Amino acid sequence: MINYDVTPIAGACGAEIHGIDISQDLSDEAIQAIRTALLDHLVVFFRDQDLTPDQHVAFGRRFGELNIDRFVVPMEGHPEVMVVLKEADETQNFGEVWHSDVTFQAEPAMGSILHAVEVPPFGGDTMWANQYLAYEALSDGMKRMLEELRAVHTARGGYGKEALDKRFDKLKRSMKIYRDRDHEAETEVTHPIVRTHPETGRKALYVNAAYTERIEDMTVAESRPILEYLYRHCARPEFTCRFTWSKGAVAFWDNRSAQHYPINDYNGFRREMHRVTVCGDTPI
């Protein structure tokens, strides 16, 4: 019997788990407890975790196969680990928009596990938004319309040639991007705008400002009013939680039902995070 507790940090989503050291070879009971808390709260947090990259990878693999990012150069010797880094003299934050991870893939991420290696003395919080609540707050008419629609997702806006030409000079030092793979960012996939979670059976909105380009069978211009409304709606304050990082803290979130947003308010300080991403399945 494991001895742990789960403490919610907000009404919409988010909870801290105390009493579990994820650097250890955890029992199946402990892994199931974490999975249950994740499904209940969409994002769970652990404090004071002293994780090596190997331990980080091993923990992630308890929940599934790990994704190797096609566009960001990984940690040397650890292809599953992305180093999310902002140096003290840089101003650009990586992923600075509300999003779910890698929705440009046919089988997007199930979950992401982010470990704080170095944090600023203040600032640098991350927010998450509950997409079950976002869907449930819509009118019946909007729900009916959206449930018939699919959206086109692509990495073009983040990693395509035009995008990298505009911001590559800001990324080439701390966040190393594969310039020779920009053609892969042109690939498009479609996902339902309303996704049914494969484990909980609940419906969630599944569009995001980073990777959703347009509604299927519509132009970008025709799609924009609907999508921009949904982007604003998805991040309403009452759907969110906010986490203040400390060294060694870990966040594990469910990309199938939550979006996240890293706040860029710590210029002048260095911030280093390590992320592994658990592979998912085809949204339905």
Q: Which of 41, 69, 101, 271 is catalytic?
A: 101
State mean pLDDT over 227-247. Answer: 98
Active site residue 101: yes
The reported pLDDT for the residue numbered 170 is: 57
Q: Does 260 participate in catalysis according to the annotation?
A: yes
Catalytic residue, chosen from 153, 256, 260, 274, is: 260
Task: Decide if pLDDT at 130 tops 80.
Answer: yes
Catalytic residue among 99, 153, 195, 197, which?
99
Give the dihedral sign, CA 146/282/263/186: negative
Contacts of 50 (CB under 8 A, 6+ apart): 23, 248
Determine whether 41 is an active site residue. no
- Compute φ and ψ for 138, nearest 5 degrees: -75, 155
Q: Answer yes or no: 275 catalytic.
A: yes
**Confidence check: pLDDT of 120 > 80:** yes
Q: Which domains does the chain have, with CATH numbers?
A: 64-278 (3.60.130.10)
pLDDT of residue 175: 85
